[in-house]
């Protein structure tokens, strides 16, 4: 019999709930995995969250987990938990297509990336691969190979990107743990648009191999319904791997550190606009309400901007240069199959001089130093995750609006890829049209647990979202 304190429907379980039920013998990983796969088969045609569904592999892994739990010997802290990987992540036995028709459909990888290897060792059951735009190049999710990914809250709208498939899957609980990547907001954007939680950890905690074309802008992280589930996932994801030639700090932290009782003594800077961003009024209101809860938790909250100018030119120089690394190896026939937007930014990148590139590197270093100084005084910086609500699917920018590039409507996310700080998006309510709003929590470099602890305390106070089913 399911304990009264836990959800009665499998579709509402968190990973933490599922592990409790496995431990008590009240639920089998086979039963949970089968339920997830059945719901994926039903719902994926409506949202296009998955590009590959590993029916046979998932059920085989779940049966192994079931046997281990029956023997009282789980192989790791995630044994039997249904999990997904992004289509940019190499994983043994599953294809990795990068959302691109230029890749081969034949077979899968014979090797795991570091994050896939760590999650597999922890016992995660891989349900499949989630959608990404081509090579993860933009803040929404559609690609020439797999089409458009849609938002479960309203399938006419985008789920964001580039981890848009993971965001849609998390909102629908098609698996409890979802791996995303974030080089300019690609975890936090879809989490904001789908009402889910995601963390871009400090660069280096989670190793990457092969290296992203966006190099040290790119972070890997968890996407889940709750901050607690993300902490559970991080404890297994953040494992050193010698293949990562850009590893920042291989020693790690205790992602399961005890939660503080309050935020007493914390100093939190609230910047609703960073000093230069236009934010929709209904989003500002929801974020203001969530920030007020930080004061109720004991924190000293002051409205103040972090004091830097918009770093878009710096980001674009590095981003466009990275895009050239994807496109320059393609043949003419392959380029004809690619997203025109990716080809466009690669062309812009090819016109960047070495002097301009090095100047952007210096500007990035200066911004890092500025934020390091800022966080010597402030425990957290809080902003909206996005200034706008989800817009029409299949578009890179809101139709008819003032934006021309996806970076124009994501001004709160990409600065903190430049600085490599931990940053999370936490759902904090609904806008005037009933769509999710994200609260952005940014910590000093290597201060990820401050972000996680604030998020976990806040989610206990915020009204829970009632997730839709399209």
* Residue 86: active-site member: yes
Q: Helix or strand or coil: residue 375?
A: coil
Q: Helix or strand or coil: residue 377?
A: coil
How far is residue 162's CA from residue 165's CA, in Å, rounded to a whole number?
8
* Residue 271: active-site member: no
By DSSP bridging, strand 300-303 and strand 267-270 are: parallel
How far is residue 432's CA from residue 142's CA, in Å, rounded to a whole number?
26
DSSP assignment of 132-187 equals -SGGG-SSS-EETTTEE-EETTEEEEE--SSSHHHHHHHHTTSSSEEEEEESSSTT
CA nearest to 420, candidates 206, 209, 267: 206
How far is residue 13's CA from residue 152's CA, in Å, rounded to a whole number?
18
How far is residue 414's CA from residue 397's CA, in Å, rounded to a whole number?
16
- Of 186, 192, 236, 425, the catalytic one is 186
- Of 162, 271, 389, 425, the catalytic one is 162
CA nearest to 316, candidates 465, 134, 137, 106: 137
Q: Looking at residue 409, what DSSP letter applies?
A: G
Q: Tokens for 449?
A: 């647990």
How far is residue 176's CA from residue 166's CA, in Å, rounded to a whole number?
10
Q: Helix or strand or coil: residue 394?
A: coil
| Number of other CB atoms surrounding residue 266 within 10 Å | 19
Note whether 385 and 438 are within 8 A (CB). Answer: yes
Note whether 407 and 214 are within 8 A (CB). Answer: no
How far is residue 328's CA from residue 330's CA, in Å, rounded to a whole number?
6
- Of 86, 129, 138, 445, the catalytic one is 86
Per-residue b/e over 297-309, b at no fewer than 16 CB within 10 Å? bebebeeeebebe
The span from the first CA to the last CA of the chain, in angstroms, equals 30
Q: Helix or strand or coil: residue 35?
A: helix
Looking at the DSSP bridge assignments, the partners of residue 428 are none
* Residue 100: active-site member: no
Q: Which residues are catalytic?
A: 86, 162, 186
């Amino acid at each position: 019999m399911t304990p009264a304190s836990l959800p009665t429907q499998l579709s509402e379980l968190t990973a933490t709930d599922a592990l409790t039920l496995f431990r008590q013998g009240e639920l089998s990983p086979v039963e949970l995995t089968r339920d997830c796969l059945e719901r994926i088969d039903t719902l994926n045609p409506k949202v296009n969250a998955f590009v590959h569904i590993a029916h046979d592999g998932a059920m085989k892994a779940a049966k192994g987990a079931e046997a281990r739990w029956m023997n009282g010997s789980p192989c790791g802290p995630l044994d039997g938990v249904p999990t997904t990987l992004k289509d940019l992540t190499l994983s043994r036995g599953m294809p990795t297509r990068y959302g691109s028709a230029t890749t081969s459909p034949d077979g899968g990888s014979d090797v795991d990336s570091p994050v896939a290897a760590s999650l597999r060792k922890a016992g995660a059951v891989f349900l499949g691969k989630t959608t990404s735009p081509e090579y993860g190049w933009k803040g929404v999710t559609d690609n020439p190979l797999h089409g458009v990914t849609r938002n479960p809250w309203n399938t006419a709208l985008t789920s964001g990107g580039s981890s848009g498939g993971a965001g849609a899957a998390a909102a629908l609980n098609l698996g409890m743990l979802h791996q995303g990547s974030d080089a300019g907001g690609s975890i936090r954007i879809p989490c904001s648009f789908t009402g889910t939680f995601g963390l871009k950890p400090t660069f280096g905690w989670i190793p990457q191999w092969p290296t992203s074309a966006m190099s040290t802008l790119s972070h890997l992280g968890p996407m889940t319904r709750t901050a607690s589930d993300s902490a559970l996932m991080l404890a297994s994801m953040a494992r050193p791997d010698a293949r990562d030639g850009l590893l920042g700090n291989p020693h790690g932290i205790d992602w399961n550190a005890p939660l503080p009782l309050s935020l007493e003594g914390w100093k939190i800077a609230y910047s609703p606009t960073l000093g230069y961003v236009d934010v929709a009024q209904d989003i500002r209101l929801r974020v203001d309400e969530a920030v007020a809860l930080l004061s109720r938790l004991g924190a000293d909250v002051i409205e103040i901007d972090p004091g830097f100018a918009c770093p878009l030119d710096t980001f674009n120089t590095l981003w466009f240069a990275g895009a050239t690394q994807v496109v320059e190896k393609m043949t003419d026939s392959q380029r004809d199959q690619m997203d025109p937007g990716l080809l466009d930014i690669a062309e812009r990148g090819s016109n960047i001089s070495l002097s301009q590139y090095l100047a952007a590197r210096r500007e990035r270093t200066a911004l890092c130093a500025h934020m390091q100084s800022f966080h010597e005084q402030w425990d957290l910086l809080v902003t909206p995750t996005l200034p706008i609500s989800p817009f029409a699917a299949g578009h890179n920018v809101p139709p008819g609006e003032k934006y021309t590039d996806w970076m124009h409507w994501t001004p709160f996310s990409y600065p903190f890829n430049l600085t490599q700080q931990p940053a999370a998006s936490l759902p904090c309510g609904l806008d005037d049209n009933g769509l999710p709003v994200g609260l952005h929590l940014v910590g000093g470099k290597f201060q990820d647990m401050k972000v996680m602890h604030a998020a976990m305390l806040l989610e206990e106070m915020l009204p829970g979202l009632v997730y839709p089913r399209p």
